[in-house]
Amino acid sequence: MKKRILAIIILPFFFSCKKENIKSDFIGNWSSTSDMNIEIDIKFFKDSMVVDNSIMYDTYSDNWKIRDSKIELTLLRGDTSIFNNKHIIDYEFNLTKDTLLIKSENDSIFRLKLKKIKNNFEYIENKVGLDLKLPETSEKLTEFRNKEFAFNIYIGKKNDSLIARTDNSHNLNRLKYEVFPFYYSKKEKNIDSLNFILFTDNSVHQNELDSIKTILKKLPIKSFFRIYNSEKYVKNDWKAEIKLLGKYEN
């Protein structure tokens, strides 16, 4: 009899602790991966979550609770003509719990993949789908301040293959359709201030970088600014602007 009473007391506490442990896996910043067709950013707190949704062009917030392998959501703030007051989603973590899969409970497959983000540089890496270990230099770095004159190029490797991407494309196949509108959107007096900003992984050899530059030199932007490793641009604020520190190159 005493054992039964003890079990009745302990079991609710056990399940409560288990739910709290599961909840702790969620808490933090999550962003949809580059292979998704939508951009969603979610910040999980202990009992609430804030969602930035590119499809809805809106930010809303929910209360959330864990129920087995499901999350029960109750709308806290948002347009009720767009969002349901209550809905349920299924979730699944990868083994390292840094990737989260989500789907509506009525869907047969997981349609949304989110990556856990620690800082603002990881946020950029996730958006372009490349891990970038920037090169280091003992030379003094310059800050590129006029970001409205920056056209970003990200260069890295996957399975030993060279990959180059922009903020909007996973390759350079449509590069001229991105660069020319950007170039002609600037006033003539600012043309000489335009630069390709190169985020290059340190696994990229100089001859490989030169091959990318050869492609870029066929376009109207003629200057290059290469980003180098610096602790100054990494901030825990996951959406903080990156301080562009590097050197001008030919």
Domain annotation covers residue 93: yes
Considering the chain, what is the average pLDDT of its residues?
88
Q: Give the confidence band of 20 by pLDDT, cuts at 50, 70, 90.
A: low
pTM of the model: 0.84
Q: Three-state secondary structure along 79-143?
A: CCCCCCCEEEEEEEECCCCCEEEEEECCCCCCCEEEEEECCHHHHHHHHHCCCCCCCCCCCCCEE
> How far from chain centre, in Å, is Cα 51?
14
Same domain, 99 and 166: no
What token pair was written down for 226?
Answer: 């290469």
Name the residue range of residue 231's domain. 120-249
Four-residue CA torsion sign, 141, 145, 146, 147: positive
pLDDT higher than threshold 70 for residue 17 = no
Three-state DSSP class for residue 42: strand
Which of 101, 117, 133 lies at the terminal end of a domain, its last residue? 117
Report pLDDT digits (tens) over 182-224.
Answer: 999 999 999 999 999 999 999 999 999 999 999 999 999 999 9
DSSP state of 145: -
Same domain, 135 and 240: yes
Q: Do residues 227 and 244 make contact, with C-beta atoms less than 8 angstroms apart?
A: yes
Domain annotation covers residue 1: no
Hey, what long-range contacts does 140-145 have (CB within 8 A, 24 or more apart)?
141/228, 141/230, 141/245, 141/246, 141/247, 142/245, 142/246, 142/247, 142/248, 143/243, 143/244, 143/245, 144/195, 144/197, 144/225, 144/244, 144/245, 144/246, 145/244
Same domain, 144 and 228: yes
Count the domains in the chain: 2
How far, in Å, CA of 51 to CA of 211, rounded? 40
